[in-house]
Amino acid sequence: MKKLKTSTRFIIAVVSLAMISALYVPLWQILMWAPQYPEGLEMKIWIDNITGDVKIISALNHYIGMKHIEVSMFPEFSYMKYIVLGLMGFGLLTALIGRRIVLVLFALLIAATGIVALVDFYMWGYDYGHNLDPTAPIVVPGMSYQPPLIGTKQLLNFTAFSGPDTGSWIFVVIGLTIFGVLGLEIFKYGKKNSSV
């Protein structure tokens, strides 16, 4: 079994602990502009809450039959922080055990979590944008209002932007670091020091 270098284990421990910050910063942001809202409207998604101009956005979206955005429509909020804490625990365990195979698992887990989160967010966006109230005051045939997954999209009079906020960027850095040290372990230290 391949053992990890002490420095690698230290880095894994540090970035795992850094995950705790995700509990205290917004993870995702949706920004919207319209002729009537030159100052813009924003919605921030946290680990267990949504903040920003949610009421105003909901009030505007009800015209086209979109659901009222509420915390209760995201069951994810009830368990997301445990996923992060679990991930963090796994990271610390990886540092403790110090075996390369566990690090491989940890890296895959991080990647999988990211992908699942994006898929989950896409599915919410699809439902929010497509599952419209048929009795809505404004029905534009064939029109749906799914917010962009990442990037900018024009939705009627609104320009909507969706993208990672501080928390997600922290995860991106963590993910890159983990894959980076894994790469070093395999391609650099691994060759010099093939067995311990």
Residues that bind other proteins (CB under 8 A): 53, 55-56, 59, 63, 137-138
User: Smaller CB distance to other proteins: residue 123 or 138?
Assistant: 138
User: Smaller CB distance to other proteins: residue 59 or 119?
Assistant: 59
User: Smaller CB distance to other proteins: residue 57 or 107?
Assistant: 57
Cα–Cα dist 100/60, whole Å = 52
Cα–Cα dist 23/92, whole Å = 17
Of 168, 12, 13, 23, nearest to 85 by C-alpha is 23
Cα–Cα dist 66/73, whole Å = 12
User: Smaller CB distance to other proteins: residue 149 or 156?
Assistant: 156
Q: What is the closest distance, in whole angstroms, from the C-beta atom of residue 164 to other proteins in the complex?
A: 27
Q: What is the closest distance, in whole angstroms, from the C-beta atom of residue 38 to other proteins in the complex?
A: 9
Q: What is the closest distance, in whole angstroms, from the C-beta atom of residue 137 to other proteins in the complex?
A: 5
User: Smaller CB distance to other proteins: residue 36 or 72?
Assistant: 36
Of 64, 67, 68, 69, nearest to 142 by C-alpha is 64
Three-class DSSP labels, 27-47: CEEEEEEECCEEEEEEEEECC
Q: What is the closest distance, in whole angstroms, from the C-beta atom of residue 155 to other proteins in the complex?
A: 15
Q: What is the closest distance, in whole angstroms, from the C-beta atom of residue 32 to other proteins in the complex?
A: 13
Handedness of CA 181, 187, 193, 196 (dihedral sign): positive
